[in-house]
């Protein structure tokens, strides 16, 4: 096949020689180009349908290497990460941390079916004596019928809030992610399940599905709402499932949206027998908006959630281990407002100071008889003043100062760096 | 309640599948785009990417160009460029029409990723209308991004700059 093509090409070139002899260099190149194009067309025609060009191998640029994009059967690597230095005001202590390094593989099986993944290593070292964790953050398959209808299945991110689905460090302000989308919406929050998503009209995106739910029996942190009860696809108890839905409208410079997630969390007492027969329904929702105009970035989010049977969950936690028990979260809400202004933007460089105010309010189902009371740190106001300095659209340096109204031990000055590719 | 939600999900899925069954990844074949904007499809012209041009293209793209030559089509002062650039994970194919050193028209022809299709919106693409090259081969204006489609927006902007740069070279070549 290759030999015959070469022979054809030689013949064509020598056949064109008289014309080439009288032409300028540019004309000669054009003549040769046309010959090559004709030979390619003949070669494709004779090879049959299997060799016809696909939409994934457009020859308009005569690419010599398309490995950066996913052709059918192609795999690529993505990644992001962040590191920070924190100096705490009250204790005077300082820490430096490679908070997370994430890499992922994406694979295209054919023009409709793709695989997406992210694998995260937190705090640099993972061993039984260290605090680091290695976890699969996403591993899901997407089947695209059209822009309007995509089916997905696997471990995927729940579309609640702004950060949960778009959490790469260059895409948000501040060295650390905001606390509302950490303690109320448990970013990075993923569940095992199936869903359908797509764009139904210009800029309006929907996403809905059925997934694993939380497990109230796994609660082990009194200050982060339901965060410590999310199961992350790790031998998740699935007696109770959850449903979610989200709508987001996007146009240049504007995002307005919201989402809801609801499901029972008792899990038939699988991880705490005292929760057998307890529904403990958890429902959380949010609305959010982002607006960019004339160098100004404005962002706001409100979220609220409730846990049914919270008193029974508190009792179950006490029954399991009175020493570590705490009052389960009963209701939670939080909001933040943020403003940033791009004071310098030249080429790849971009400098934007920002200010953010956050409010967190988690109400717990107290059991005074057993000494399980409201944690005062669950009523918090946080002010953050800082700057993002993008040295490249995908690489950012950050600095900020944070002041907590309740838990003063968290007051800190921070420096950070993040990247994504 | 969950049973009702599941039923709603199943019904919605069927309804959406019924109205969106058409496979819409290739929005328009490049050949059709060229014929539409030029009235017919003339023979392609070729811009060879010499070492200098490759260097400038690399500065625009942030990586070396993958091609040694760029085909384009022109008719009556209008040039058409079909370019490809990676968004987050996959190549976006877009068509750019340049008239007198200004972008006259942009269209996303093929979008392969499962998210970020918002770059196809008219409200996004119309920001490129009349854009021209300023200093250092940058656009003469800021393009408002789309939340959640940052890398696709960046890819579209880089392709727009490349189309204008290539168009300028094609005119320089014609004057030689």
Spans of all domains in chain B: 24-175
Q: How many CB atoms lie within 10 A of CB B9?
A: 19
Instruction: Give the per-residue pLDDT at A64.
Output: 34
Instruction: Give the per-residue pLDDT at A347.
Output: 82
A222 within 8 A of A328, measured Cβ to Cβ: no
Q: Which of A63-67, A201-205, B172-176 has the lowest mean pLDDT?
A: A63-67
Q: Phi and psi (nearest 5°) for A406?
A: -105, -60
Task: Report d(CA A393, CA A25) in Å as an integer.
Answer: 41
The dihedral formed by the CA atoms of A101, A107, A113 and A117, expressed in degrees to the nearest 10:
-20
Q: What is the pLDDT of residues B136-163, one digit of tens each?
A: 899 999 899 898 888 899 999 999 999 9
Beta-carbon separation of B144 and A56 below 8 A? no
Task: Report d(CA A162, CA B170) in Å as an integer.
Answer: 44
Q: The dihedral of CA A406, A410, A413, A416: what is its sign?
A: negative
Beta-carbon separation of A210 and B9 below 8 A? yes
A53: nearest Cα among B95, B29, B107, B91:
B29
Instruction: Give the per-residue pLDDT at B112.
Output: 86
Q: How many CB atoms lie within 10 A of CB B175?
A: 6
pLDDT band at A323 (very low <50, low <70, confident <90, very high): very high
Helix axis angle, B150-175 relative to B51-61, nearest 10°?
A: 150
Task: Report d(CA A298, CA A303) in Å as an integer.
Answer: 17
A16 within 8 A of A35, measured Cβ to Cβ: yes
Give, in degrees to the nearest 5, the angle at Cα A117 between A116 and A122.
155
Instruction: Give the per-residue pLDDT at A17.
Output: 46
Q: What is the pLDDT of residues A189-215, one digit of tens each?
A: 999 999 999 999 888 999 999 999 999
Cβ-Cβ contacts under 8 Å, A166 against chain B: 147-148, 150
Q: What is the mean pLDDT of residues A124-130?
A: 90
Q: What is the pLDDT of residues B100-126, one digit of tens each?
A: 999 999 999 999 887 888 999 999 999
Strands (E), chain B: 45-48, 69-75, 78-86, 91-99, 102-111
Q: Taking all residues of chain A, what is their mean pLDDT, rounded to a whole number?
A: 88
Q: What is the DSSP letter of A47?
A: H
Instruction: Give the per-residue pLDDT at B173.
Output: 72
Q: What is the DSSP letter of B42?
A: P
Per DSSP, the three-state class of A243 is strand
Q: Which residues on neighbouring strands pair with residue A120, listed in sequence order?
A: A102, A135
Q: Hunting for tokens 């959380």 — which residue is that?
A: A284
Q: Hunting for tokens 């997934």 — which residue is that?
A: A211
Measure in Å the smallest separation between the Cα of A102 and chain B Cα atoms: 15
Beta-carbon separation of B2 and A242 below 8 A? yes
Instruction: Give the per-residue pLDDT at A158.
Output: 98
Q: How many CB atoms lie within 10 A of CB A116?
A: 22
Of A61, A197, A394, the CB nearest to B84: A61
Q: What chain B residue is nearest to A66 in terms of C-alpha separation?
A: B66
Task: Report d(CA A19, CA B163) in Å as an integer.
Answer: 32
Both structure tokens of B92: 């976006």
Interchain contact B145–A (C-beta under 8 A)? yes
pLDDT band at A56 (very low <50, low <70, confident <90, very high): very low
Interchain contact B15–A (C-beta under 8 A)? no
Cβ-Cβ contacts under 8 Å, A162 against chain B: 147
Instruction: Give the per-residue pLDDT at A51.
Output: 43
**Radius of gyration, alpha carbons of chain A:** 27
pLDDT(B41) > 50: yes
Q: Taking all residues of chain B, what is their mean pLDDT, rounded to a whole number?
A: 86
Q: What is the pLDDT of residues A369-409, one digit of tens each?
A: 999 999 999 999 999 999 999 999 999 999 999 999 999 99
Instruction: Give the per-residue pLDDT at B76.
Output: 87
Task: Report d(CA A373, CA A327) in Å as an integer.
Answer: 6
A65 or A414, which is more confident: A414
pLDDT band at B67 (very low <50, low <70, confident <90, very high): confident
Cis link prior to A188 (omega < 30° from 0)? yes
A96 or A13, which is more confident: A96
A187 or B26, which is more confident: A187
Instruction: Give the per-residue pLDDT at B24.
Output: 39
pLDDT(A14) > 90: no
Q: What chain B residue is nearest to A80 in terms of C-alpha separation?
A: B88
Q: How many CB atoms lie within 10 A of CB B136?
A: 11
Percentage of residues in chain B having pLDDT higher than 90: 63
Both structure tokens of A47: 């090879």
B93 within 8 A of B163, measured Cβ to Cβ: no
pLDDT(A79) > 70: yes
Q: What is the pLDDT of residues A216-236, one digit of tens each?
A: 999 999 999 999 999 999 999
Measure in Å the smallest separation between the Cα of B100 and chain A Cα atoms: 22
A282 within 8 A of A262, measured Cβ to Cβ: yes
Predicted-complex ipTM score: 0.75
Of A66, A70, A250, the CB nearest to B66: A66
pLDDT band at B33 (very low <50, low <70, confident <90, very high): very high
B160 within 8 A of B152, measured Cβ to Cβ: no
What is the reported pTM? 0.82
Instruction: Give the per-residue pLDDT at B114.
Output: 78
pLDDT(A67) > 90: no
Q: The dihedral of CA A120, A124, A126, A128: what is its sign?
A: negative
By 3-state DSSP, what share of chain B in percent is helix, strand and coil, each rounded to 5?
Answer: 45, 25, 30
Q: Which of A32-41, A203-212, A327-336 has the lowest mean pLDDT?
A: A32-41
A405 membership: H or E segment, kind and range: none
Interchain contact B131–A (C-beta under 8 A)? no
Instruction: Give the per-residue pLDDT at B26.
Output: 84
Task: Report d(CA A358, CA B25) in Å as an integer.
Answer: 41
Q: The dihedral of CA A12, A15, A16, A21: what is its sign?
A: positive
Q: What is the mean pLDDT of residues B40-52?
A: 92
């Amino acid at each position: 096949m290759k030999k015959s093509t070469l022979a054809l090409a030689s013949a064509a070139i020598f056949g064109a020689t008289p014309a080439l002899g009288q032409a300028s260099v540019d004309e000669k190149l054009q003549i040769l180009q046309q010959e090559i194009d004709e030979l390619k067309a003949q070669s494709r025609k004779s090879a049959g349908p299997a060799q016809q060009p696909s939409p994934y191998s457009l020859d308009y640029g005569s690419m010599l290497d398309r490995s950066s994009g996913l052709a059918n059967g192609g795999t690529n690597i993505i990644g992001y990460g962040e590191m920070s230095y924190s100096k705490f005001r009250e204790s005077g202590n300082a820490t430096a941390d490679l908070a997370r390094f994430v890499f992922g593989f994406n694979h295209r099986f054919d023009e409709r079916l793709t695989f997406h993944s992210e694998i995260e290593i937190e705090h640099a070292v993972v061993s039984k004596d260290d605090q680091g964790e290695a976890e699969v953050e996403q591993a899901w398959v997407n089947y695209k019928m059209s822009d309007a209808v995509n089916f997905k299945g696997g471990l995927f991110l729940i579309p609640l809030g702004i950060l949960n689905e778009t959490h790469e460090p260059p895409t948000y302000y501040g060295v650390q992610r905001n606390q509302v989308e950490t303690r109320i919406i448990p970013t990075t929050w993923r569940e095992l399940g199936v869903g359908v998503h797509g764009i139904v009209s210009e800029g309006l995106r929907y996403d809905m599905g059925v997934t694993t739910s939380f497990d109230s029996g796994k609660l082990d942190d009194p200050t982060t709402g339901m965060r410590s009860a999310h199961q992350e696809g790790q031998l998740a108890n699935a007696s109770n499932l959850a449903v979610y839905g989200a709508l987001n409208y996007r146009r240049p410079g504007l995002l307005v949206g919201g989402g809801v997630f609801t499901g029972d969390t008792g899990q038939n007492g699988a991880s705490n027998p005292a929760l057998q027969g307890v529904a403990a329904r958890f429902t959380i929702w949010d609305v959010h908006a982002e607006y960019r105009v004339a160098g100004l970035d404005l962002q706001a989010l409100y979220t609220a959630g409730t846990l049914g049977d919270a008193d029974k969950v508190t009792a179950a936690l006490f029954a399991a281990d009175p020493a570590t028990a705490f009052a389960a979260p009963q209701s939670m809400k939080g909001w933040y407002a943020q403003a940033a202004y791009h004071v310098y933007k030249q080429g790849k460089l971009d400098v934007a100071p920002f200010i953010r105010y956050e409010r967190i309010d988690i109400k717990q189902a107290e059991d005074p008889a057993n000494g399980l009371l409201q944690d005062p740190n669950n009523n918090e106001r946080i002010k953050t003043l800082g700057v993002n300095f993008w040295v490249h659209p995908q690489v950012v340096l950050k600095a900020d100062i944070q002041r907590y109204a309740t838990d003063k031990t968290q007051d800190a000055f921070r420096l950070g760096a993040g990247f994504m590719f | 309640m969950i049973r009702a939600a599941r039923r709603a999900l199943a019904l919605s899925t069927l309804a959406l599948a019924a109205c969106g069954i058409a496979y819409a990844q290739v929005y328009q074949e490049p050949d059709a785009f060229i014929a539409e904007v030029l009235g017919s499809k003339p023979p392609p012209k070729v811009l060879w990417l010499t070492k200098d041009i490759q260097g400038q293209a690399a500065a625009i793209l942030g990586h070396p160009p993958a091609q040694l030559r760029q085909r384009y089509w022109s008719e009556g002062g209008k040039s058409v460029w079909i370019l490809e650039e990676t968004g987050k994970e996959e190549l976006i194919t877009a068509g750019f029409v340049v008239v007198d050193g200004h972008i006259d028209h942009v269209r996303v022809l093929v979008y392969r990723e499962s998210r970020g299709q918002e770059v196809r919106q008219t409200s996004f693409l119309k920001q490129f209308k009349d854009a021209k090259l300023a200093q250092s081969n940058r656009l003469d204006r800021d393009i408002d991004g789309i939340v959640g489609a940052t890398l696709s927006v960046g890819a579209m902007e880089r392709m727009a700059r490349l189309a204008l740069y290539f168009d300028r070279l094609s005119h320089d070549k014609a004057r030689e």
